Structure 1
Amino acid sequence: MPYSRRALIKGLAVLSIMRIPVSRASLPTLALNVAVESPWMANQVAITRNNRLFLGLPRYSAEYSTPSLARLAEDGSMQPFPGNSWNDWKPGDDGSEAFIYLNSVHVFDDDTVWCVDQGSLSAGIFGEKYSKPAPGAQKIVQLDANSGKILRILRFDDQILPPGSQLNDLRFHGSLMYLSDSGIGGIIIHDLETGKTTRRLSGLPVVKASNKAPPAMLAHVKGGKTFHPPNSDMIEITADGKWLYWAAPTGPLYRVETQLLRDNTLSDVELAAHVEAVYDNNFSGGCAMDSEGNVYFSETVTHNITVWSPKGKTAVLISDPRLIRPDGSFISSDRGLYIPVKQPVKSTTSEQVFYIYRVDLPHSIAGIHLGHAVTGA
């Protein structure tokens, strides 16, 4: 997950949150299995119903090349997808029809592949020149999971993505696409049927990252380098489409009813009054949601996957030292939780294997009933 370089706003007002202890008692012993090995670091994983697996591959090094999107081949190797000029971009090239920095890769009910391309790179690694997206570079790309054909490219104007915005992730319910902006902070709603797009809560406290993470944790995450958490980042929608959830890595987890989010008679300030802060999550790189509305947090420092239930319970699903900086997880149709990890790069000049793990979800844990995948249907 790329991190915003914008300073946190001091004096951020965060809604009062009930702090709930995480249950560790009587937890089942779950196996953490290697699902796939990749020659590139992955921060996102997605799988179709017929088990076509895709990885989102961030550009984290100027020396270490990446195709940005890869698919698992029948021989077990990861191959660039779709395997043409979309995977060949390098700094200085036109990025309007190529992958620059994929921050999200997801598969929904239609079994196509949806990608969020932020269109810019880290200034700390690639320089300020490439830290701001060129016109048309920041985009949403939909691909056929079998042929790799580009089915759709969505781009938004300055009213939807004002300067400083950074598309982060997306979720669907029916024809409605919900996107998080981790730059300025905000929620974007796009209707695929009508083409109408709206931006809500832009820059308000409820879409800003908290500053609760201690400096020692922040230094640990970025190897001692200066780090400013992104704003509204992780995003999920319940299976019935009623609630939209979002959180910054530092928390908290917020939610609002989607009918209010889409009510244009409400101003953003009025809408914010309906937003609920429901959980003070540990520092997390990504998350997933199941059909029961449970959120699975990939905790960056603890090596835990922690489940939060909308009924107010929490439990550690699994804890394993191999979960090094876990990121954007994905629940498959057969109820496997796939977890990419961003273990440190040993060298940019030698080969390294990066792992994506799988945990088979039990039916319940610590009194929390666990569901199946949310597909946006």
Structure 2
Amino acid sequence: MYAKSLPALRCLRHAGFLLACGTGLLGMLPAAHAAKPAPPLNPPAALEEIAASSTSAWDRVVVLPDGRLLVELPRWAGNKGPAIAVLDANGTPQPYPDATWNDPSAPPSSRFVAPADMQLQPDGTLWVLDSGQPDPAGKPVEGGPKIVKLDTHGQRVLQTWPLNPDMLRVGSYAATMRVARGHAFVGDAGIPAMIVVKLDTNTQRRLMEHTPALTAHQPITVDGKIATNPAGHTAIVNISQMDISADGQWLYFEPLCGPVYKLDTDLLVDPKVTPIELEEGPTLWYKTPPLGGITAGLDGTLYFNDVSTGSIFRLMPDRVYQKIVTDPRLHWPGGSFATKDGQLYVPAAQLDRTAPLNGGINAIQWPVHIYRINVGVLPPPKF
């Protein structure tokens, strides 16, 4: 099945991950648009600890309009309790939007089964992608995979869109999503594809299956160690990180191992676009290392969270690329959030120490943390 995407490897797929017995076809990718690397920021950006937990591992964070932190607690990382939670004054996760939506006894269609991504829009609308799949090695819970729209001002669910069963394949894993232009763009990290949902009509299309830009071509390394799945094989995760420009025109995405691609959403919202046009549509934007998150600032700056070295990079609108901080506390910097006043919130997720990426052994070192970086005051790069 993967022969077309990985001709140099003999591959197997298991649990939503691609298991490869060799590495790297990255050299076969087309050259990225030229960017000007700048020397690392000196002094590096300062990290301010905002929250910590000795019981829950979060992989994504957003800042609600009232300033509270909303976190995603992936089931596959061994978390118990709420799947989407707001941190109270003591930093303790409380179920969001309420206990019912985090009640494991509630029907899968009306609760969070296993959220995989979330997006907060400027008007306070929160979008959550529920993979419906607590165990990447298993099947989605019937009725579980869905898109959920919430009003954060009223703290209530407004609407849900179940993913049609024919949008998913055996081995699919709905891992990442962004909403814009009346559409939801969902990345399948198991069987690489883009699922596009036209929200007003609930028209769903599965596009770009096995397109090279969505497909992992190399392992994930953290501090020189290759991430492995519970079977002990190299774990290679297809499209799993995504963000979108403020105007909704450009979608930035990557398989977890990198690199980052850029795609005009015109190609996704127009049903007349041909498969060949979609195949050729992505532009290799930057040859990044493995990333735990891509965050688009309001000014167009992209922040890349490098899990291989615990670093944060910025790719500025003028295509200047710069490391702003490397710190051992940033162990697997996950899905971050940039506020309009220039604050970047970054969870140190330690996902490489969870069982699905650590040979079946959960080795998280408590506590886990969320840090804040004031990117709004960072000086311009000096060459």
AA aligned to 1:84 is A
Query: How far off is 1:30 after superposition?
Result: 2.2
Aligned residue in 1 for 2:139? 132
CA distance in 1, matches of 2:191, 2:265: 21
Query: How far off is 1:89 after superposition?
Result: 2.0
Query: Alignment partner for residue 214 of structure 2, among 196, 207, 223?
Result: 207
Query: How far off is 1:217 after superposition?
Result: 4.0
Deviations 1:200-258 (A, max 9, x none): 21222221112165698453577994342221111122122222221011112111222
AA aligned to 2:64 is T
Uncovered stretches (5+) of structure 2, i.e. residues with no partner: 1-14, 355-360
Identity of aligned residues (%): 26
Aligned residue in 2 for 1:7? 19
Query: Alignment partner for residue 81 of structure 1, among 96, 106, 122?
Result: 96
Deviations 1:108-167 (A, max 9, x none): 1231332211111335xxxx5xx1103211112223325542221111213433333222
Aligned residue in 2 for 1:65? 80
Query: How far off is 1:60 after superposition?
Result: 3.8
CA distance in 2, matches of 1:12, 1:55: 35
> Does the alignment pair 1:339 with 2:346?
yes
Query: How far off is 1:356 after superposition?
Result: 0.7
Aligned residue in 1 for 2:357? none
The verdict on how the C-alpha distance between 1:55 and 1:8 changes in structure 2, with shifts beyond 3 A counting, is same
> Does the alignment pair 1:165 with 2:172?
yes
AA aligned to 1:5 is F
CA distance in 2, matches of 1:216, 1:35: 25
AA aligned to 1:45 is V
Q: Which segment is superposed worse, 254-263 or 211-220?
A: 211-220
Uncovered stretches (5+) of structure 1, i.e. residues with no partner: 369-377
CA distance in 1, matches of 2:376, 2:299: 13
CA distance in 2, matches of 1:165, 1:272: 20
What SS does the aligned partner of 2:109 have? coil
Q: Is the 8 A contact 2:331 2:348 kept in 1?
A: yes
AA aligned to 1:99 is F
Query: Alignment partner for residue 45 of structure 1, among 61, 76, 84?
Result: 61
- Superposed counterparts of 1:162-241, under 5 Å: 162-211=169-218, 217=224, 219=226, 225-241=232-248
CA distance in 1, matches of 2:223, 2:314: 25
TM-score (norm. length: structure 1)? 0.82
> Does the alignment pair 1:254 with 2:261?
yes
Q: Is the 8 A contact 1:25 1:366 kept in 2?
A: no
CA distance in 2, matches of 1:201, 1:351: 38
- Superposed counterparts of 1:147-166, under 5 Å: 147-166=154-173
CA distance in 2, matches of 1:21, 1:220: 30
Deviations 1:244-303 (A, max 9, x none): 221011112111222223333332223222321121111111121113333211111201
Q: Is the 8 A contact 2:82 2:95 kept in 1?
A: yes
> Does the alignment pair 1:99 with 2:115?
no
TM-score (norm. length: structure 2)? 0.81
Q: Is the 8 A contact 1:256 1:275 kept in 2?
A: yes
Query: How far off is 1:68 after superposition?
Result: 0.9
What SS does the aligned partner of 2:266 have? helix
Q: Is the 8 A contact 1:315 1:366 kept in 2?
A: no
What SS does the aligned partner of 2:261 have? strand
Aligned residue in 1 for 2:31? 17
CA distance in 2, matches of 1:55, 1:304: 21
CA distance in 1, matches of 2:90, 2:225: 39
Which structure has greater strand proportion?
A: 2
Aligned residue in 1 for 2:126? 113
AA aligned to 1:40 is S
CA distance in 2, matches of 1:26, 1:284: 19
The verdict on how the C-alpha distance between 1:352 and 1:217 changes in structure 2, with shifts beyond 3 A counting, is closer
User: What RMSD over aligned residues (CA atoms) do the two structures have, in Å?
Assistant: 3.4
AA aligned to 1:41 is A
Aligned residue in 2 for 1:375? none
What SS does the aligned partner of 1:240 have? coil
The verdict on how the C-alpha distance between 1:231 and 1:278 changes in structure 2, with shifts beyond 3 A counting, is same
